[in-house]
Amino acid sequence: MNGNGSNIPGYTYGTSAVPTSSVTLDDLQRLKISVGFTEEDAHYLHMAAPVLEDQVERIVNHWRANIIASIPHLARHSRNLDGSPNPDYLARSNRRFQQWILDTCLRPYDQDWLNYQQEIALRHTSHKKNQTDHAVSTPYVPYSDIVAFLAVLNNTIKPYLEAKGHNESDVAHMHKAWCKSMQIQIALWAKPYMEIENGSTEW
Amino acid sequence: MNGNGSNIPGYTYGTSAVPTSSVTLDDLQRLKISVGFTEEDAHYLHMAAPVLEDQVERIVNHWRANIIASIPHLARHSRNLDGSPNPDYLARSNRRFQQWILDTCLRPYDQDWLNYQQEIALRHTSHKKNQTDHAVSTPYVPYSDIVAFLAVLNNTIKPYLEAKGHNESDVAHMHKAWCKSMQIQIALWAKPYMEIENGSTEW
């Protein structure tokens, strides 16, 4: 795993290919305040990065193969429209999924991060899903599926945070910071969804 | 605190005043699966109900007076438009906020619950905010504020779950079940928001 993700297909973090977010840094500051996300949380996410770094492949595999694969209404979003597997799409998006874990922990939550949050959201909406990997799959992932599945990410990340022998208090702080970041991120993702998928049958 | 909330102003749970949700029980079932919400979680929420029941006033006061009141962009939603306090609006909505904690723990997640989830969401959107209490306040609560603030609810509920001497494992299970329910609920609230606030400046 390359820390800055430069070899990951379709990973365009910090490049000119990523449009500027319609969410401002002031909006982000308000979100952080609403969540209670502080410098201490950023500190514990930085602590989590080296803990998770050599586990990201295993973690994403846990989410994808052990959980999502057994839930048809989630699994379909990385499959072909007839429900058959699309290993290339899955492999490419898994690499970005892995990098996203590290970005959550390591990247400063600045304009580049905000722009890429919007890009991540758009890649799940009908505006951009499938495009990056030239896949033929579901037209979008309903926002509710993403919000719901975050509960699974939050619950399953804990043992991986414990895996490097940190004390209980540090693990609890890392986990709390992770959960806060998740809540900031789905708040950010809601905006493109509201603008694009407001007429969707599935929300 | 009356367990079924029958004396709470504007609390219309299970009555004919509450329209049927556009979310179906099948949709809810899929959400539960995505979140990983099982019978075990329902069991632990039932365990949490008597733990929280005599603390709900203190809990809501903690959220409102210790946290929301010090965050202007959140506090404004239960104040008059000029920023002055509206004690009546606050008191009435606090009673429902308290009852919502118990409903989260005790109510079966059935059609009535689904209907009231939609009602709760609508009462935060421009479709229905302020109406129940005849308040003159902000026209709606941005969805992102709600999603973000859930992180605070999740973090601050823990000590209250610990307050009745349950062992660490039971507390952890009650807390996990609570967090899963929160994720289901904000997924449900997203739908009315996407239909109503898609053109809003704040999302």
Question: Positive or negative, the Cα torsion across B9, B14, B19, B24?
Answer: positive
Distance, CA of A58 to CA of A43 (rounded, Å): 24
**Helix or strand holding residue B1 (H, E):** none
Q: Please, are residues B177 and B198 in contact by the beta-carbon 8 Å criterion?
A: no
Chain B residues interacting with chain A (CB cutoff of 8 angstroms): 27, 30-31, 33-37, 67, 71, 73-74, 143-145, 147-152, 154-155, 176, 179-180, 183-184, 186-188, 190-191, 193-195, 197-198, 200, 203
Which domains, and CATH codes, for chain A? 25-201 (1.10.490.10)
CB contact under 8 Å between A183 and B143, yes or no, is no
* Helices assigned H by DSSP within chain B: 25-35, 39-52, 56-61, 72-75, 87-106, 111-122, 143-162, 168-196
Q: Please, are residues B42 and B107 in contact by the beta-carbon 8 Å criterion?
A: no
pTM, two decimals, is: 0.95
CB contact under 8 Å between A155 and B176, yes or no, is yes
Whether this model's ipTM surpasses 0.90 comes out as yes
pLDDT per residue rounded down to tens, chain B (203 residues): 446 777 999 999 999 999 999 999 999 999 999 999 999 999 999 999 999 999 999 999 999 999 999 999 999 999 999 999 999 999 999 999 999 999 999 999 999 999 999 999 999 999 999 999 999 999 999 999 999 999 999 999 999 999 999 999 999 999 999 999 999 999 999 999 998 988 787 88
CB contact under 8 Å between B193 and A197, yes or no, is no
CA distances from A184 to A32, A179, B92 (A): 7, 9, 29
B-chain residue closest to A74, CA distance: B34
Which residue, among B67, B50, B76, has the nearest Cα to B154 in the 3D structure?
B67
- Chain A and chain B share a number of CB contacts under 8 A equal to 120
Using a CB-CB distance cutoff of 8 angstroms, which residues of chain A are in contact with residue B34? 71, 73-74, 144-145, 148-149, 151-152
